[in-house]
Amino acid sequence: MKQVTLLNLETLCCIAKLGTFHAAAQKMNASQPAISARIRDMESALGVALFRRQGRRMELTFQGRELVQMVEPLLRRLDSVVGALDNPEAATGIVRIGAGEIAALSWFPVFIARLRQLMPKVTYQVEIDLTAAMRQRLEAGKLDVALFAGPVTSVDTRSASLGRVRMCWMMAPSLMARSEPARSPRELLESQAIWSLSKPSASHSMTMAMLRDLGVAADAIGTCNHIMALIEIIVSGAGVALLPEILVRGYVAKSELVPLLPELPTPELEFVIAWSADQEQSIIRNIVDMALRCTTFDGPDAPADAVHVLDDLASEKGDSGP
């Protein structure tokens, strides 16, 4: 026996509302024979006649009228639900967002504030961790969206670039003053204690690669699993580290950190926002779009600075009153 489809029920209600098969065909952008076939399929599946001919018109039978009365409210509710899914303010649910520390400590708070404005009924569960952990949790379905150092190689994961973060070798001015003049970057690095974020962070991999390129032995470098703690360790004069420029600007401005050597290269980490390829709901699209608008990482089309976004938020709050 054929099944009664949602399209068949919509066709029945459309005929009941407009009065004729011809009008329903025009409304639903279908041929009249197709409309008639849908009704025949439904009558066959239900085992009852839904229409009877009255002169040149087709009138609903009492079973047809009863079915329309039951189905119309359900179709209205379904339209409401589908409409709500495309309406950010009406969107509901729990979204699990993962972020690496560099993003979390720069523009991420502004990003979350913007999402709360856009989709106020959505609950956000935020996890901060290293890139490798973010990747694993996203691929395991334990995160819906993640922001981390790219690139993404999994065929089951989609991503969009958030821009690049410059990395620079930094040290405390006091340590620089005590250092003997060195003839090369290699000699200067070898004369200092070297620190890095813990494995398996992207920053650690980049640090090790640069040390190898410079011919510096990296058998015993200090590690720390928290970027701000690592920065404070370097500020204290405990050694040198390859640090994200976006997070040390304030320290440089206050002369608490200085570049190790101006001639050392400043490599870049590209960051992405990633999500599962089977997650294409409007909520996920809204989150991705908002991240692309809020990111302050460097790029050819980098959005406004986070300070400007915060100013916008404050202005909007002021416009809306207390």
- The token duo for 182 is 């060195």
Return d(Cα 172, Cα 259) in angstroms, integer.
9
The residue type found at 97 is I
pTM of the model as a whole: 0.65
Mention every residue, 6+ apart, whose C-beta is less than 8 A from residue 54. none
Domains assigned to the chain? 6-85 (1.10.10.10), 93-163+270-319 (3.40.190.10), 166-268 (3.40.190.10)
- The token duo for 67 is 């079915």
pLDDT in tens, 134-153: 888 998 889 999 999 978 88
pLDDT in tens, 227-236: 999 999 999 9
Contact 31, 25 (CB under 8 A): yes
Chain centroid to CA 123: how far? 14
pLDDT in tens, 14-47: 888 888 888 888 888 889 999 999 999 999 888 8
Return d(Cα 68, Cα 10) in angstroms, integer.
9
Overall residue count recorded for the chain in this entry: 322
Average pLDDT, rounded, for the chain? 84
Please state, in angstroms and as integers, the Cα–Cα distance from residue 307 to each residue in 188, 310, 320, following that order: 36, 5, 20
* DSSP-based three-state secondary structure for 140: coil
In this prediction, residue 84 has a pLDDT band, given cuts at 50, 70 and 90, of low
The two most distant CA atoms of the chain are separated, in Å, by 107
pLDDT of residue 233: 97
Contact 111, 291 (CB under 8 A): yes
- The token duo for 181 is 């003049």
| Among 35, 201, 60, residue whose Cα is nearest residue 133 | 201
Contact 151, 270 (CB under 8 A): yes
Task: Please spell the DSSP secondary structure of 24-77, one letter per residue.
Answer: HHHHTT--HHHHHHHHHHHHHHHTS--EEEETTEEEE-HHHHHHHHHHHHHHHH
Return d(Cα 185, Cα 199) in angstroms, integer.
24
| Among 163, 94, 164, 134, residue whose Cα is nearest residue 276 | 134
Contact 126, 116 (CB under 8 A): no
Residue 317 above 60 pLDDT? no
